[in-house]
Amino acid sequence: MTAVTAFSENPVPALPRARPEPCVMVIFGASGDLTKRKLIPALYELFLDKQLPKCFRIVGFARSENSAEEFRSHLRDSVREFGRKVFDEKEWAKFAEIIDYHQGDYTDPAAYASLKKRLEEMECGCSVGDNRLFYLATPPSLYETVIGNLHGEKLVYPKKETDSWSRVIIEKPFGRDLDSARELNSFVRARLHENQIYRIDHYLGKETVQNILVFRFANAIFEPLWNRNHIDHVQITAAEKIGVEGRGSFYDEAGVIRDFLQNHLFEVMSLIAMEQPVSFQADPIRDEKVKVLRSLHRQFDDEIAENVVAGRYDGYLDVKGVKPDSRTPTYAALKVMIDNWRWQGVPFYLRAGKSLVSRVTEVNIHFRRIPFCLFGQEEVCQRLEPNVLTIRIQPDEGIRLRFGCKTPGDNLAVSPVLMDFNYAEAFGRETPEAYARLLIDAMRGDQTLFSRSDAVEHAWTYITPILRKLESGLPLHGYKTGSDGPVEAAQLLGKDGRAWDRIVPDKL
Ligand code: BG6
């Protein structure tokens, strides 16, 4: 392995980022899993790093009859369990002072009216002003109810009526299919301006996912090769070791295609496949991503059966909350073609699944074979493996290039070797938590890492026929927990004369 040096640990930021303005953040679904596992630990991390606005308050909104004290103590346990930094009792006590709780029924306008009053009267030794960030961490079925009430009670401001801002973060999945996504988009856009809507996909907050564009466009040597002339195919894998854990009823409604492919993997694919944006601003980047989604080759019914493999891990039906007659996939592999000049004829193979051999998310760019083998002997030539560039999103975040090298010695022999960059080794610190980055961006009003309405709809346009085909009997193949998915997935590449990259359990 080759060591990589970070030449400057604290380079001058290309895009300096200001501390956000004072604001209050209201979390709907405050007693749920997302709040305790991700949102509060991320906010606590931001607090420790002094990145939160100078004046900031958090209000949890949920149905449960909790006092603010009970709510804080419940969050304290979550931060101890799920936080990434060493828990510090004194710091926590300071952080807890900015947390409040508001009990209410999501469907009851009076609960929003009293929330409004509370926000208006909020005192915390400093002025949070009227800036408001609302986070919808509720089940998706409540999105319209909450947004309708926020609008009805004027908790969100119509655009340009005031200098203060109000923004709404909406968790994925945004809709269940194309029709419901369109409906939700039109409901939300009738009440909020697009620049107030933050459709969150936490994959975009991952440092390694953000680095895809920097890697592609801050280096001169990769981009000339980034096309059909040099790339044979691309594999994008998101394997999880965990099963659906305690989320049986949520997951059974969603399945891997709605929970992972339509959003996380399509976002990563768009960043890999997009053209160079005209600038590094939110809309130019999002414009280019949308073009990729618009160029996806639409599949006829019989093509879907050829290009999609769905699976379910053994034992899934025994999970609490899963319906006995469930047909929800926990694994899916897709062959996706992009109809444009850059990618014509280059398959993108995507796979995601739960209960697999290990937790790995990575992109493997497989380059073409050399056009002619110089080394004469059949044995040598057969051992020449094509170059592969691996972008490792997690864990062991890094980038690796495989190339052929002469094995030392008198005889001519060639072996594949790896050139390897690892974030932790190069920069000596862990990559930041994705939710922390996205929350701070939403407070700043930076939408670059959030999905725009057209992108969400284009992704559903491609995915919805696959969901329909699943409902009408696309086979659901079983696979063993701890395996690399259903054996049938191998045929997806096998029939093209290719093979999946091994899901490597540990370090690269
Ligand atoms: C979530 C999905 O969006 O992402 C979960 O709902 C999944 O099912 C999770 O486990 C994976 O996130 P990460 O950051 O651990 O890869």
- The pTM assigned to this predicted structure is 0.93
Do you find a cis peptide bond into 395, omega within 30 degrees of 0? yes
Q: Is 259 in the pocket of ligand 1 (CB under 6 A)?
A: yes
Taking CA atoms only, the protein residue closest to ligand 1 atom 13 is 203
- 364 forms bridges with which residues in the sheet? 235, 390
Please state the φ and ψ torsions of residue 483, each to the nearest 5 degrees.
-95, -170
Count of CB atoms situated within 10 Å of the CB of 416: 14
Which ligand 1 atom sits nearest the alpha carbon of residue 203? 14
Cα of 240 vs centre of ligand 1, distance in Å, is: 8
Please state the φ and ψ torsions of residue 244, each to the nearest 5 degrees.
-85, 0
Cα of 22 vs centre of ligand 1, distance in Å, is: 30
**Which positions are annotated as active-site residues?**
264
> pLDDT digits over 12-71, tens only?
666 667 889 999 999 999 999 999 999 999 999 999 999 999 999 999 999 999 899 999
Distance CA 384, CA 412 (A): 12
Cα of 460 vs centre of ligand 1, distance in Å, is: 19
Contact 331, 310 (CB under 8 A): yes
Q: Is 433 in the pocket of ligand 1 (CB under 6 A)?
A: no
Q: Is 240 in the pocket of ligand 1 (CB under 6 A)?
A: yes
Taking CA atoms only, the protein residue closest to ligand 1 atom 15 is 240
Q: Is 267 in the pocket of ligand 1 (CB under 6 A)?
A: no
Which ligand 1 atom sits nearest the alpha carbon of residue 264? 3
To test the ligand 1 pocket, which listed residue (37, 174, 240, 313) has its Cβ within 8 A of the most ligand atoms? Answer: 240
- Which uninterrupted H or E stretch holds 416? strand 414-422
Please state the φ and ψ torsions of residue 263, each to the nearest 5 degrees.
-115, -75
Tokens standing for residue 443: 């407070």
Taking CA atoms only, the protein residue closest to ligand 1 atom 14 is 203
pLDDT at 14: 62
To test the ligand 1 pocket, which listed residue (38, 247, 259, 394) has its Cβ within 8 A of the most ligand atoms? Answer: 259
Taking CA atoms only, the protein residue closest to ligand 1 atom 4 is 260
Distance CA 328, CA 400 (A): 35
pLDDT at 18: 80
Neighbour order of strands in the sheet with 348-353: 414-422, 398-406, 388-394, 360-367, 231-239, 348-353, 331-336, 308-313, 476-479
To test the ligand 1 pocket, which listed residue (264, 397, 431) has its Cβ within 8 A of the most ligand atoms? Answer: 264
Distance CA 426, CA 429 (A): 8
To test the ligand 1 pocket, which listed residue (200, 251, 260) has its Cβ within 8 A of the most ligand atoms? Answer: 260
Give the pLDDT means over successive 10-residue stretches in the chain (508 positions): 54 70 96 94 95 94 94 95 90 95 97 94 72 95 96 84 87 95 96 95 94 96 97 98 90 95 97 96 95 95 94 96 95 98 98 96 96 78 88 94 91 88 88 92 94 96 96 94 96 96 71
464 contacts: CB under 8 Å, gap ≥ 6: 177, 178, 179
Cα of 154 vs centre of ligand 1, distance in Å, is: 33
Cα of 259 vs centre of ligand 1, distance in Å, is: 8
Taking CA atoms only, the protein residue closest to ligand 1 atom 2 is 259
Strands 331-336 and 348-353: antiparallel
Distance CA 416, CA 156 (A): 58
Cα of 447 vs centre of ligand 1, distance in Å, is: 21
Which ligand 1 atom sits nearest the alpha carbon of residue 238? 16
Which ligand 1 atom sits nearest the alpha carbon of residue 206? 14
330 contacts: CB under 8 Å, gap ≥ 6: 243, 244, 251, 255, 256, 311, 312, 313, 316, 353, 354, 355
Q: Is 397 in the pocket of ligand 1 (CB under 6 A)?
A: no
Which ligand 1 atom sits nearest the alpha carbon of residue 254? 6
Cα of 147 vs centre of ligand 1, distance in Å, is: 25
Question: Could you tell me which of 244, 451, 492 has the C-alpha nearest to residue 349?
Answer: 492
H-assigned helices in 295-433: 301-307, 378-382, 423-427
Torsion over CA: 239, 244, 247, 252 (sign) = positive
Which ligand 1 atom sits nearest the alpha carbon of residue 394? 16
pLDDT at 215: 96
Distance CA 58, CA 35 (A): 12
pLDDT at 473: 86
Taking CA atoms only, the protein residue closest to ligand 1 atom 6 is 259
155 contacts: CB under 8 Å, gap ≥ 6: 112, 115, 116, 119, 132, 134, 149, 166
